Copies of this chain bind each other. A is one copy, B any other.
Amino acid sequence: MKASFLSLLALIACATNSFAAEKPNFVIIFCDDLGYGDLSSFGHPTIKTPNLDTMATEGQKWTNFYVAACVCTPSRAGLLTGRLPVRNGMCSDTRRVLFPDSSGGLPTTEITISSALKKSGYHTAAIGKWHLGHLPEFLPTKHGFDSYFGIPYSNDMDPIRRVNPIKAAEEENWEAYNLPLMRDEEIIERPVNQTTITRRYTEEAVKKIEGFGDEPFFIYLAHNLPHIPLFRGKDFKDTSTAGIYGDVVEELDWSVGEIRKALEKSGVSENTLVIFTSDNGPWLPFKQHGGSAGMLRDGKGSTWEGGMREPTIIAWPGIIQPGIVHDMGATLDLLPTFVSLAGGTLPDDRTYDGVDLSATLKGETDTSPRDEMFYYHGEQLFAVRKGQYKAHFKTKTSYSGQKKAEVHNPPLLYHLGSDPGEQWDIAKQHPDIVKELQDLSASHTKGVKPVPNNLNGVIGK
């Protein structure tokens, strides 16, 4: 009797383990306007990020990881749906992101990571910045998230009066912004005290982890920093040698440490994939209040590498093969990867732009299935990468006063392996590769069907 009871226990334990292995947890930690060069493990000489450094050593550091767009709203739409924003109307040449007066948002016909995982029995929570529609019909709770705690758009929107975000940060004047903090579908605080925001997002995430226990969960923790205006908690005030920007990134690093500690404490660390990345490159015109793309060219708003390549770290103790992945990956790949790891399937009624990275993560292969990347500026395809080669058909340095995009015919061509800073155009020496990338661009563009725009609408207009 005793023996068979023990056998039963062993069987249950085994089943639980196997269930757990079939349904890993997922935590996306998504920053805002963090540059490729802003982490210590990605080469920053001053900013201290010990928790991310440890995560990079224990997990995988991806050095060619892309976002779906070079600005906020379309980048987030791409991450959550695994589809380029041009397929769901969340990009535009007119308005580049949503604003507090916007009437649009991510259509509920889209499948998000959250709605897909819910079908596989996951608990889901969105914490932080949403920026995919602040009207009730577009909120996280309408997109497969059980709960939401955060701000509905960027932290520099809703200024009470004309305000310089650098001055506001230096004076810690968060009251200059009438920024709402929401719980699910309600505004619970306005203006929110932005000096407490990273800490409160972190506490919310920790509470969720503790509450989910052994049941599978997905947390989308989208910090609204280091987007300007920069606010940091009192424990991080003037503690970095890298100025306010350094303080803010170091608080985000602290947050990563807290999340990982909570997973450890809850005993789910070895069943949880955590990915850290950001929505787009650094907002360079803000100088010391913007980050750095390291040796990559340009930043937020541009389709140069600095605008769309992000410092990305993925950890999953015991499962992910530690190391550096130099092949490509993208936030677009998270939906198919997570669904695959959760044992789910996706409806085949739509085109996905993401690929399943799970074999690369597990070390079953040392290459990535992603060999191409498409760089959109609003609704237009500006550049294409295949392997180490990238062709620019148009370029525009955003937020710098350049009014019109420069058209390149023939396109500019760079070898990103030997020239990651995109300094030396080699189109003339490689007409065959230029032709190949032009053909790739043409066939891709042909496969994108026009959809209604969901970004330009204004309330009451």
Taking beta carbons and an 8 Å cutoff, which residues of A are in contact with B?
36-37, 40-46, 48, 53, 57, 63-64, 240-243, 245-246, 287-288, 292-296, 309, 324, 326, 388, 415-421, 423-424
CA distance A295 to B421 in the complex (A): 10
Shortest C-beta distance, A426 to chain B (Å), equals: 9
Are A424 and B288 in contact, with the CB atoms below 8 A? yes
Are B45 and A246 in contact, with the CB atoms below 8 A? no
Interface centre among A45, A63, A324 (most CB of B within 10 A): A45
- Can you report 28 residue pairs joining A to B where beta carbons are below 8 Å apart? A36-B45, A37-B294, A37-B295, A40-B63, A40-B324, A42-B43, A43-B43, A43-B294, A45-B64, A45-B295, A45-B296, A46-B326, A48-B324, A57-B57, A241-B326, A241-B388, A241-B418, A242-B417, A242-B418, A243-B415, A243-B418, A246-B417, A287-B419, A287-B423, A292-B421, A293-B295, A294-B295, A295-B295
Main secondary structure of the interface of A (DSSP, over half): loop
CA distance A17 to B378 in the complex (A): 67
Question: Contacts of A423 on B, CB cut-off 8 Å?
Answer: 287
Are B416 and A46 in contact, with the CB atoms below 8 A? yes
* Residue ID in chain B nearest A324 by CB atoms: B40
Question: Contacts of A44 on B, CB cut-off 8 Å?
Answer: 43, 295, 420
Shortest C-beta distance, A154 to chain B (Å), equals: 23
* Residue ID in chain B nearest A38 by CB atoms: B295
CA distance A242 to B421 in the complex (A): 12
Question: Contacts of A424 on B, CB cut-off 8 Å?
Answer: 287-288
* Residue ID in chain B nearest A42 by CB atoms: B43
Are B37 and A63 in contact, with the CB atoms below 8 A? no
Are B45 and A326 in contact, with the CB atoms below 8 A? yes
CA distance A147 to B421 in the complex (A): 42
Are B46 and A288 in contact, with the CB atoms below 8 A? no
Given that A64-B45, A288-B424 are known contacts, is A417 also in contact with B241, CB under 8 Å in the complex? yes
Given that A242-B417, A295-B294 are known contacts, is A45 also in contact with B63, CB under 8 Å in the complex? yes
Shortest C-beta distance, A294 to chain B (Å), equals: 5
Question: Contacts of A293 on B, CB cut-off 8 Å?
Answer: 295
- A-B pairs, top 10 by smallest CB distance, nearest first, are A43-B43, A243-B418, A241-B417, A45-B63, A288-B418, A46-B417, A294-B295, A37-B295, A242-B417, A242-B418
CA distance A288 to B43 in the complex (A): 20
Question: Contacts of A415 on B, CB cut-off 8 Å?
Answer: 243, 288
Are A46 and B242 in contact, with the CB atoms below 8 A? no
Question: Contacts of A45 on B, CB cut-off 8 Å?
Answer: 36, 63-64, 295-296, 309, 326, 420
